[in-house]
Amino acid sequence: MSDTHNDVRALIGRTKDLTANQRLLLVHYAALPAGKTGTQQTGQALAAEMGWAPTFFSRIRKELVEADWLEEYDRFNNIRYYRPTDQALGRRSKVVRLRPPAETADRLAVLPEIVVSNSDALREMPF
């Protein structure tokens, strides 16, 4: 079997929670000859290729974008281009977090109060 065939099978395995139409559209995007840059075909052309109405295609694509399976990577006037995300392709994200998660930030916000209250307690202790 080819690598592409195995990649598509792996993608189908990762998308068990999606609807049949969402899975079909995602597999279609993943199978397009786009490389790392995504496809340069319009949604209208892809909808026609799949035999879907453009509005139905757009709705399914929007659902996949909201669920982080597709991402917009380019825009030309009112035409937007999409590609599968790293999650969809089974790759680890290469994005490095610069800020701590919100729960860590909340804990760090309390830290100065602890330090101040401890330093006041130290001043009152006889040495």
- The domain locations on the chain are 3-89
Contact 32, 4 (CB under 8 A): no
pLDDT of residue 107: 57
pLDDT of residue 1: 42
Confidence of residue 51 (pLDDT cuts 50, 70, 90): very high
Q: 3-89: which CATH topology?
A: Arc Repressor Mutant, subunit A (1.10.10)
**Distance linking the first and last C-alpha atoms of the chain:** 77
pLDDT tens-place string over residues 64-116: 999 988 988 888 888 888 888 877 777 665 555 566 565 655 555 555 555 44
pLDDT tens-place string over residues 8-47: 777 778 888 889 999 989 888 888 776 455 567 788 888 9
What secondary structure does DSSP assign to 44-62, as a single string? HHHHHHHT--HHHHHHHHH
